[in-house]
Amino acid sequence: MSRTAAWLAAALALTACSPTPDERAAAQLTQLAQTALARPDRVVVLRELDAVAWQRAEVFGPYTPEPSLPEKLKRDARVSTIGIDGRDDVVMLVLWDAQQQPAAVFAFPRGTADLSAIAGQPFYRTDCFVLGTGQPPRPALRANC
């Protein structure tokens, strides 16, 4: 195999394994929640969630029917992939960018932190949430942290 072919194969392999923005955001939020649970204050500072550019977020709880979603999400293939309308093990988190487009759409396991407690309450980069002590931990939103 020539050097060019080997380099091209390696480059393609790396590209194929690169996480999507949704995967990066989900992994980062999981890490932020796990780190918060290990601290006495149990605070997740949302401005630290910087895997994608976002301004506002929404949580859609288990069994949210697709017809009740905002129009921009009804046409988003990621929503049907998650299948939130038939699941209770996850919530669907949507990070909206400055142009009100979905920058990231991902399933977040309720066992990590049960974000269904804040479903229907939009929150922003400037906010934070405090994880409770129950199992699984449920958050309480705080504005302007």
Q: Determine the Cα–Cα distance for residues 17 and 12; give it in Å rounded to an integer.
A: 9
What sign has the CA pseudo-torsion 123, 54, 27, 66?
positive
Q: Determine the Cα–Cα distance for residues 11 and 5; give it in Å rounded to an integer.
A: 10
Could you tell me which residues come within 8 angstroms of residue 116 by beta carbon, excluding any fewer than 6 positions away? Answer: 59, 61, 62, 91, 110
Residue 12: the pLDDT is: 43
pLDDT tens for each residue of 42-62: 999 999 999 999 999 999 999
Q: What's the token pair of residue 54?
A: 């976002």
Residue 141: the pLDDT is: 93
Residue 10: the pLDDT is: 46
Residue 17: the pLDDT is: 74
Does 129 fall in a domain?
yes
Q: How many domains does the chain have?
A: 1
Compute the average pLDDT of residues 80-106.
Answer: 96
Q: 7 vs 25, which has greater pLDDT?
A: 25
Does 113 fall in a domain?
yes
Return left, alpha or beta for 83; rule: phi > 0 is left, psi -120 to 50 is alpha, else beta: left
Does 108 fall in a domain?
yes
Does 13 fall in a domain?
no
**pLDDT at residue 15 greater than cutoff 60:** no
**pLDDT at residue 128 greater than cutoff 70:** yes
Does 9 fall in a domain?
no
Contact 145, 127 (CB under 8 A): yes
Q: 15 vs 101, which has greater pLDDT?
A: 101
Does 5 fall in a domain?
no
Contact 59, 92 (CB under 8 A): yes
Compute the average pLDDT of residues 58-79.
Answer: 94
* Residue-range definition of the domain harbouring residue 56: 20-142
pLDDT tens for each residue of 28-45: 999 999 999 999 999 999
Could you tell me which residues come within 8 angstroms of residue 96 by beta carbon, excluding any fewer than 6 positions away? Answer: 54, 55, 56, 57, 58, 102, 103
Does 32 fall in a domain?
yes
Residue 2: the pLDDT is: 55
Does 97 fall in a domain?
yes
Q: Determine the Cα–Cα distance for residues 91 and 29; give it in Å rounded to an integer.
A: 13
Q: Determine the Cα–Cα distance for residues 112 and 43; give it in Å rounded to an integer.
A: 14
Mean pLDDT value across the chain: 89
pLDDT range class, residue 117, cuts 50, 70, 90: very high
